[in-house]
Amino acid sequence: MPRLAANGYHEAHLAAASRHSPNLPEYLPAFPDTSAQPFLHMIEFKHVTKRYPESGEALAEVSFHVARGELTFLTGHSGAGKSTLLRLIPAIERPSRGEIIVDGVAVQNLRTRQIPFLRRKLGLIFQDYRLLNDRSVFDNVALPLLITGHNPHEVGRRVRAALDKVGLLKKERRLPLALSGGEQQRVGIARAIVHKPPLILADEPTGNLDPELAEEIMRMFRDFNDVGVTVLIASHDLHLVRRFSRRTLRLDHGKLSEAG
């Protein structure tokens, strides 16, 4: 069985990444048109509970939905269950009970071999970036495309389009540790959007950034949402959340209430 790297990618794909850097013109792919899909809700939780043997319930009877094409914030104190909730959507963790529907797929019923197909619909963004520090910016962003078997020509076009979108096209050959925190987060965002997912999940994406950079990153998510991408962002920064005036879900000790 192939050995996994720290961020979950097979090491065989990491070696392949460095071989696919064609010198191609800039290209900006459109996000997919999801308006014709039959499912009204992109995400639906129905009475979801997550219990850990050591610490008890992290989520208790959580029910909500996120409509297709909506940008929604998820807030709550540290330890409220925000990260747990987000990890349930791509089946990184499984619920103890309840139903989770993502784009019409019952996540709790998926077999292990089916999970990668679910994750191809998702763009995942983490507070700690989860970049491969011994690989270039280009190679980090290319990984999702290499894993799904895109040809080198398409990889080059899509990677450079994603880097252009986040303002890092001129830094594609740099290593992540040569970048600022804000730039590293933008590399993570480029990696999340390079395969044009209809759904983006972001877990505290501005937690390590100063206020100006944090607002810039949030504007980027708003831009993605403006072209039809569904976005769910977990954030404890209530001031920043209020500035963007979007629907907000609040977790308090594993229980959910809708704030607006």
DSSP letters for 157-224: HHHHHHHHHTT-GGGTTS-GGGS-HHHHHHHHHHHHHTT--SEEEEESTTTTS-HHHHHHHHHHHHHH
Rounded to 5°, angle at Cα 154 from 180 and 219: 40
Q: How far is CA 91 from the centre of its chain?
A: 13
Does residue 36 surpass a pLDDT of 90? Answer: no
* Predicted local distance difference test score (pLDDT) of residue 12: 40
Evaluate whether 178 touches 46 at the Cβ level (below 8 Å): no
Does residue 18 surpass a pLDDT of 50? Answer: no
pLDDT in tens, 158-178: 999 999 999 999 999 999 999
pLDDT in tens, 183-224: 999 999 999 999 999 999 999 998 888 888 899 999 999 999
Evaluate whether 260 touches 100 at the Cβ level (below 8 Å): no
Which whole-number Å values give the CA distances from 137 to 97, 132, 223, in the listed order? Answer: 40, 9, 22
Give phi and psi for 181, each to the nearest 5.
-60, -45
Q: What predicted TM-score, i.e. pTM, was given to this entire model?
A: 0.82
Does residue 243 surpass a pLDDT of 50? Answer: yes
* Predicted local distance difference test score (pLDDT) of residue 7: 41
pLDDT in tens, 78-136: 889 999 999 999 999 999 999 999 999 999 999 999 999 999 999 999 888 899 999 99
Does residue 21 surpass a pLDDT of 60? Answer: no
**What is the rounded CA–CA span in Å between residue 38 and residue 227?**
18
Range scoring the smallest mean pLDDT among 2-11, 103-112, 141-150, 239-248: 2-11
**Token pair listed for 78:** 């540290």
* Predicted local distance difference test score (pLDDT) of residue 113: 94
* Predicted local distance difference test score (pLDDT) of residue 105: 94
Does residue 19 surpass a pLDDT of 80? Answer: no
pLDDT band at residue 260 using 50, 70 and 90 as cut-offs: low
pLDDT band at residue 74 using 50, 70 and 90 as cut-offs: very high
